[in-house]
Structure 1
């Protein structure tokens, strides 16, 4: 009897977990058409957050589709940035292009797995980004934890550089749309996050 109850509880828990974390589907078509807008901030004041120094470098206003999410627990940035997301806009928000590839995240970067590119590779890279997310408030951090693959999100905040005086490292945000590789990720201080 106890085994049957335990099985039922585990089954219900598994169904709930799948339902709560399953990817969101939209069907064919571009669902986030606009290119992110950023504007440089000159001489912005550095401020402290959780023992880190944060320096805004540009404002960012972004609407994009979440392509992949990865949580980090043990690397040197985890206390500041527990979550990275890969987002896409324009053609990289269209399920017709996304259905033929897998987005993989590892070591704070991302890469594609695909039999054949759905678009020219340069176009793919220019319409997607790996973002290290810093939630400015508990409410924003809770929303980051609620994100699922396929969500359309709107972010307002800053691209920032971050320094750990304690551990001696500095992480700089990319400021370009055409770079590739580990230094191409954006470090984003999120003032507002909306799941559309």
Structure 2
């Protein structure tokens, strides 16, 4: 009888593991540009607002539709309470599967990197059409929806690029251009609206 239950439990564990693999598998697309428009950014001057223990100052209204190139979740770094997930996003040529097959894309430590092969498009063009976004969900519903996004999803995010002040002299400021690279080049994005297709 005990052996029977061990077999049943093993089969259940295998099924759960297979379901998790299927659920986390990237969304595939045929070749072709999936998102042609660049992000829309409009600079603003608005007063700071409270968000938990933080003060967020809007710098720009921001609207981006893009293909998700990579997802990285954070639980223990200095910004994890504020921004629990980063998306590396691509638009224009960086939303095209035929282009992306010539790049390796990595995220970690709040950075993302793209590594081209010999047949890849120009790296500068690639970087102008991709960015790493530190996402601050405006509420728990958006937080849950962001957490469910997979590589390959097409998402539209709207909200504000912000600078942040928090406890213990914590500061964090968004980039306001897609042309920069390196430390400070990522968008710090307070997400108020989320759509996925």
Which deviates more, 74-83 or 99-108? 99-108
Counterpart contact for 2:68–2:155, Cα < 8 Å: yes
Q: 1:80-99 to 2 correspondence within 5 Å? A: 80-99=82-101
Distance in 2 between the 1:180 and 1:97 partners?
A: 20
| 1:142 shift after superposition | 1.1
Q: What residue ranges of structure 1 are gaps of 5+ in the alignment?
A: none
- State the match for 2:180 in structure 1: 179
Q: Which residue of 1 aligns with 2:102?
A: 100
Aligned to 1:27: 30
TM-score (norm 2): 0.95
Matches within 5 A, 1:120-139: 120-139=122-141
For 1:5 and 1:161, locate their aligned partners in 2 and report how far apart those are by CA, in whole Å: 53
Q: TM (normalized to structure 1)?
A: 0.96
For structure 2, the 5+ residue unaligned runs are none
Which residue of the other structure, out of 46, 54, 65, is the alignment partner of 1:63? 65
Instruction: Give the structure with higher Rg (CA).
Output: 2
Range moving further from structure 2, 16-25 or 150-159: 16-25
| CA–CA distance in structure 1, aligned partners of residues 115 and 129 of structure 2 | 16
Deviation at 1:137, TM superposition (A): 1.5
Question: For 1:149-168, what aligned pairs fall within 5 Å after superposition?
Answer: 149-164=151-166, 166-168=167-169
- Measured after TM superposition, the shift of residue 194 of structure 1 is 0.4
Match of 2:20 among 13, 17, 22: 17
Partner of 1:149, secondary structure, is: coil
2:116 touches 2:123 (CA, 8 Å); kept in 1?
no
